[in-house]
């Protein structure tokens, strides 16, 4: 085990010598660094949506075939979630994220080198597989660096950057496409991951206790304090991964199904949205970079709003169930309500406006959705988040295929009706089934006991 294996006993035993001193803010620098990782990953996964028509034309692929290419990423992404999350729990975020970022940069470049359907499918599959552990492992890292009352906000912030990536990618990738061709998009974007991996490896530590930039006041903010002023310890023990408890927990699968519904709704914007604007609303590549970004910008506002409101309610009431549900369930319902008129209106700008409102409310869900696995997963939050994101990725794969198949047949409204129905289902799951206060790893036993 890496340095995360040590407890913070020495830190918790130390009395705060200068209570008047200001806490450092290193955890927010960690958040910025991880947020840039989210930015790069979403650039790498969404840039193909801009290049789709050119790739399809060069390789002679119809929309159903491109739907399979897009689904290849999410299938592999789903497949790698649980193993990657487990690796993060076992070996620590620093080592695992450094390897992950380097690998997915290489596979992003491979997309640009594709020479047909088979190599394109393979490159996207490998990209999904290598990128699969990024968010579960990052969540595990942030669990150690942030108190529970900040988790909705930090998850909203990281996903704000991911949506910002989707918003600016059409403009950046479109400019690269016009200047250098579609292959250059993947070469340029792919190089960013290596630079991030170097910076992350130099700055990040698995535990704030081990970072020179964290003083005792900030550590007290993160860990909390005992009545005598000492910092609460973070005890990390050798435990066997409680696979049975996790996989047989109804709450685990309710959380996962709720995220399936969320991923199904959002993945349209990562896969078919630019194609919808270009081929159904007849927008040019240049206008795509301007008008096409409005729903993504609205989604970014939703990320921050939903996560912040959820944390505020939790801090005020102390009730995680209320704080997470009261944001997620209405978010799903309102997103569904505005999606149908977006598909029915004949005016392209009205359609974009309705999509923006819908995406704003859908993105309310992301902060609570990613905070809950951190709360109910304990020491195994990487694995628990991996299970949730695996099921969610299957929802994303469904989006790519459902939309692609229906668009290919000329049905431009039907996919939105399906998506609206899925969002209503998500609202019901969050209202009646998901319990943010019920652990899914209760009863985990130490390795020594498990092996005896």
Domains of the chain from N-terminus onward:
24-224+242-442 (1.20.1250.20)
Q: What is the pLDDT of residue 294?
A: 82
Helix intervals (H) in 204-293? 216-223, 243-247, 250-271, 273-275, 285-291
Question: CA-to-CA distance for 176 and 100, rounded, in angstroms?
Answer: 26
Residue 111 has pLDDT above 90, yes or no: no
**Mean pLDDT in residue range 419-431:** 94
In order, the DSSP letters of 20-49 are TSPPP-HHHHHHHHHHHHHHHHHHHHHHHH
Which letter, b or e, does each residue of 291-325 get, where b requires 16 or more Cβ atoms within 10 Å of its Cβ?
A: bbbbbbbbbbbbbbbbbbbbbebbeeeeebebbbb
DSSP helix, strand, coil percent of the chain (3-state; round to 5): 80, 0, 20
Confidence tier at 10 by pLDDT (50, 70, 90): very low
Residue 208 has pLDDT above 80, yes or no: yes
Query: Phi and psi (nearest 5°) for 24?
Result: -70, 170
Find how far residue 450's CA is from the centre of its chain.
Answer: 33
Residue 18 has pLDDT above 90, yes or no: no
Query: 449: burial class by Cβ within 10 Å (0-12, 13-18, 19+)?
Result: exposed
Please check whether residue 400 is in contact with residue 67, taking contact to mean a CB–CB distance below 8 angstroms: yes
Q: What is the pLDDT of residue 236?
A: 63
Q: What is the pLDDT of residue 450?
A: 31
Confidence tier at 16 by pLDDT (50, 70, 90): very low
Which letter, b or e, does each residue of 156-173 get, where b requires 16 or more Cβ atoms within 10 Å of its Cβ?
A: bbbbbbbbbbbbbbbbbb
Confidence tier at 12 by pLDDT (50, 70, 90): very low
Residue 88 has pLDDT above 80, yes or no: yes
**Mean pLDDT in residue range 293-297:** 82
Residue 13 has pLDDT above 50, yes or no: no
pLDDT tens profile 246-264? 999 999 999 999 999 998 8
Mean pLDDT of the chain: 83
């Amino acid at each position: 085990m890496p340095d995360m294996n040590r407890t913070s006993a020495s830190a918790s035993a130390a009395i705060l010598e200068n209570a008047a001193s200001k806490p450092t803010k290193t955890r927010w620098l960690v958040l910025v660094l991880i947020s840039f990782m989210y930015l790069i990953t979403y650039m790498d996964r969404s840039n193909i949506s801009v290049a789709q028509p050119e790739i399809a034309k060069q390789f002679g692929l119809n929309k159903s075939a491109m739907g399979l290419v897009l689904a290849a990423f999410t299938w592999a992404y789903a497949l790698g979630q649980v193993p990657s999350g487990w690796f993060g729990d076992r070996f620590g975020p620093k080592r695992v994220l450094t390897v992950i970022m380097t690998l997915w940069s290489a596979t992003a470049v491979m997309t640009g080198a594709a020479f047909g359907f088979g190599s394109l499918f393979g490159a996207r599959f490998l990209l999904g597989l290598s990128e699969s552990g990024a968010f579960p492992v990052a969540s595990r890292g942030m669990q150690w660096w942030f108190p529970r009352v900040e988790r909705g906000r930090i998850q909203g912030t990281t996903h704000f950057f991911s949506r910002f990536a989707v918003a600016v990618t059409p403009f950046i990738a479109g400019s690269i496409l016009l200047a250098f061709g579609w292959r250059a998009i993947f070469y340029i974007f792919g190089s960013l991951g290596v630079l991030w991996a170097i910076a992350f490896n130099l700055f990040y530590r698995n535990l704030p206790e081990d970072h020179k930039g964290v003083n005792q006041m900030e550590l007290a903010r993160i860990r909390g304090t005992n009545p005598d002023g000492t910092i609460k310890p973070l005890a990390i023990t050798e435990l066997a991964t409680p696979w049975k408890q996790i996989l047989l927990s109804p709450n685990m699968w309710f959380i996962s199904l709720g995220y399936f519904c969320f991923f199904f709704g959002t993945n349209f914007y990562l896969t078919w949205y630019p194609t919808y604007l270009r081929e159904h609303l007849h927008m040019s590549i240049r206008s795509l970079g301007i008008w096409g970004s409005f729903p993504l910008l609205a989604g970014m506002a939703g990320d921050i709003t939903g996560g912040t409101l959820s944390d505020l309610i939790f801090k005020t009431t102390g009730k995680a169930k209320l704080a997470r549900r009261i944001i997620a369930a209405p978010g799903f319902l309102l997103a569904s309500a505005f999606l149908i008129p977006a598909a029915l209106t004949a005016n392209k700008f009205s359609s974009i406006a309705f999509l923006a409102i819908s995406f704003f409310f859908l993105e309310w869900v992301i902060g609570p959705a990613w905070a809950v696995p951190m709360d109910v997963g304990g020491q195994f939050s990487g694995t628990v988040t991996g299970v949730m994101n695996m099921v969610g990725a299957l929802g994303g794969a469904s989006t790519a295929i459902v939309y692609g198949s229906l668009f290919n047949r000329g049905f431009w409204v039907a996919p939105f009706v399906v998506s609206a129905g899925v969002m209503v289902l998500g609202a019901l799951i969050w209202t009646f089934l998901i319990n943010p206060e019920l652990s899914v790893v209760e009863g985990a036993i130490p390795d020594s006991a498990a092996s005896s």
